[in-house]
Amino acid sequence: PKGPLDALGATGASRLQIAMYGLLPLKRADLMTYGAYEFESALRSSIVVGAVGGGGLGSELVGSLAALDLPRVTTLILVLVTMIAVLDQVAFWLRKHPRWLLALIPAGLVALTAYSPHMIALGHAIEVFGQMFPPEMTARGWTQLPQQIWETIWMAAAGTSGAIIAAIIAGTCSARNIAPIWLAWPVRRMMEFLRTVPEVVWGLVLIAVAGVGPTAGAWALGIHSAGCLARLFAESLENAAPAPQLALASTGASRLAVSAYATFPLALGPLAAHSLFRFEWNLRMATVMGLIGAGGIGQALYNAQQLFFYQQMMAYILITWGLVALIDNASEALRCRYKLSQAIT
């Protein structure tokens, strides 16, 4: 809402003062929601990095899956689920006690100094990077490129569409201001499980069912995204301004009526914004899914890297960057056109 910001501006407050005493307090709940989500995403991304040799639980998980050591795979997934569940509860507690956010500053500094990575082989990195220029694409590569781009976009769109439908249902059932605790608690735990398992791991499992190709990739993106969006949708519903909901409830309206005519209309902007952001994310992840045989431009990139065709690899990287930039700009235009960013309350 612009009213408090305009009131501060009318008193002669500077832009910094308006941001500190007007905008940040109004957006605190949404900033905390998305901040916790981004930290959770970084935790899951570390699993993906580990899957390609970065160490940590990701390396153990993919190695155990490749060796068909299913009991160990189950144990590692349960560890990840526990970590995400603890993070979810800490984030919920911090939303109720925001002053404790200041404690995250020293905690972050300690985390930065607690681990010293090995020195990067800078000379070798420069040599390999130099071999990537100038980018080059074969005639066959140009012929196959439209199909690869289509598979990548289809994976992202199909996965996101299915996830939105599932997340609307699951998010409603897990919002604490809508659903009773006996329903919200198990649904939240189930969604934690879906988003704890990274897309790459879901893809490896689903390839055994659906075979290689974009279908397995779309299912993997959809399952993981359903868990992510369900949390964001639930917290967007919880962050909706309480005054209109209380006013409607005071007239004797049922919980269902309050949800349908107050909570959901207030949260519609954030729900749409989160959905667009998730599509952008899935477009990038659709490229990663190519590493495990899900097709698309990611598989072509992976094949070029495995064959040491560095110039062709750089061409695919630049094409992927252009595709993602195009979708990002289109998504940003939609958000500005329909003022979705301003709708987050």
Tell me the pLDDT tens digit for each residue of 115-158.
655 555 667 778 888 888 888 888 888 999 999 999 999 999 99
Check residue 5 and give its pLDDT: 76
In a domain, 233, yes or no: yes
Shared-domain flag, residues 165 and 43:
no
Per DSSP, 52 falls in state: I
Which contacts (CB < 8 Å, 24+ apart) does range 249-255 have?
255/178
Shared-domain flag, residues 169 and 227:
yes
Asked if residues 33 and 239 have their Cβ atoms less than 8 Å apart, the reply is yes
Check residue 121 and give its pLDDT: 62
Asked if residues 199 and 285 have their Cβ atoms less than 8 Å apart, the reply is yes
Tell me the pLDDT tens digit for each residue of 199-232.
888 887 888 777 788 889 999 999 999 998 998 8
Shared-domain flag, residues 186 and 261:
yes
In a domain, 222, yes or no: yes
In a domain, 153, yes or no: yes
Regions of the chain short of the pLDDT cut 50: 342-345
Shared-domain flag, residues 101 and 155:
no
Mean pLDDT over all residues of the chain? 82
Instruction: Tell me which residue range forms the domain holding 260.
Output: 140-345
- Note the helical H segments in the chain: 3-10, 15-18, 24-49, 56-66, 70-96, 104-114, 122-130, 139-174, 181-196, 199-210, 214-238, 242-249, 255-258, 264-289, 296-306, 310-337
Give the domain-ending residue among 106, 130, 149.
106
Give the domain-ending residue among 85, 106, 127.
106
In a domain, 280, yes or no: yes
Check residue 344 and give its pLDDT: 40
Shared-domain flag, residues 247 and 149:
yes
In a domain, 309, yes or no: yes
Task: Give the C-alpha separation, 91 to 93, whole Å.
Answer: 5
Q: Which of 37, 31, 28, 32 is nearest to 278 (CA)?
A: 37
DSSP codes joined into one string, 274-288: HHHHHHHHHHHHHHH
pTM given for the model: 0.74
CA 89 to centroid of chain Cα atoms: 18
DSSP codes joined into one string, 146-202: HHHHHHHHHHHHHHHHHHHHHHHHHHHHH-TTTS-HHHHHHHHHHHHHHHHS-HHHH
Q: How many CA atoms lie within 13 A of 12 on its CB side?
A: 0
**Cβ burial 92-131 (10 Å sphere, 16+ → b, else e):** bebbeeeeeeeeeeeeeeeeeeeeeeeeeeeeeeeeeeee
In a domain, 134, yes or no: no
Three-state DSSP state, 120? coil
Check residue 52 and give its pLDDT: 63
Domain count, the chain: 2
Shared-domain flag, residues 147 and 76:
no
Shared-domain flag, residues 263 and 191:
yes
